[in-house]
Amino acid sequence: MISAIVLAAGLSRRMGNPKMLLPWGKTTVLGQVLHVLEAAGVEDVLVIAGAEQEAIEGICLQAGVRTMKNPQYESGEMLSSLQVGLRAMPAAARAALIVLGDQPGMQLSVVRAVIGGHMETSASVVVPSFRRRRGHPWLVGRDGWPELLEMRPPETPRDFLSRHSASIHYVETDTASIIRDIDTPEEYLKSRP
């Protein structure tokens, strides 16, 4: 089984409004991300919340996915949310798909390609690539979890990927969506449907 960890604990400082709750078509930014994961057949999804926890839990309840709070969301970075998620992975999970909650442009084809890359090659780390740039969502096998759990700030998941660059299985994509999230009002207004 492949589980997904959706990183949605941020404070949205640059946006000025809670990003996960912003309208996106007929849903929200986070709702769209969860919809794509469901369409890809990811059965176990865990959303890591922090800021706006109650509202995020409401979206997750509607989508039928689990939530967990990152108690360090105000001071921690992405690494602390990832670690909370990895510690909560079910025993049956052989890999974790690392998903950004503020990436509503995430495409179904990319999610399927990353999961397929792992299934076909058994690679421990699978990353989508657009014009030689790494993006999200990426996947890490269970054998990589202990190293991620031992990491401490100022280290980031990017440091983990850099250390393993020689063994990453890259899935080439023709979409810049893998490197686009929404951090500012301008980015949101430019990309929303």
Q: Any idea what the CATH number is for the domain that residue 182 is in?
A: 3.90.550.10
- Alpha carbon distance, N-terminus to C-terminus of the chain: 32
Mean pLDDT across 123-150 = 96
β strands within 27-145, DSSP E: 27-28, 44-49, 66-69, 95-100, 125-130, 133-134, 138-141
Residue 45 has pLDDT above 80, yes or no: yes
Give the whole-number percent of the chain exceeding pLDDT 90: 83
CA distance 118 to 113: 9
What is the per-residue pLDDT for 181? Answer: 87
Q: Hey, what are 159's tokens?
A: 């440091």
* pLDDT per position as a tens digit, 70-90: 999 988 789 999 999 999 999
Mean pLDDT across the chain: 94
What is the per-residue pLDDT for 85? Answer: 98
Domain count, the chain: 1
Q: Residue 46 is part of which domain span?
A: 2-191
Kindly report the pTM of this predicted structure. Answer: 0.95
Q: Hey, what are 128's tokens?
A: 């989508």
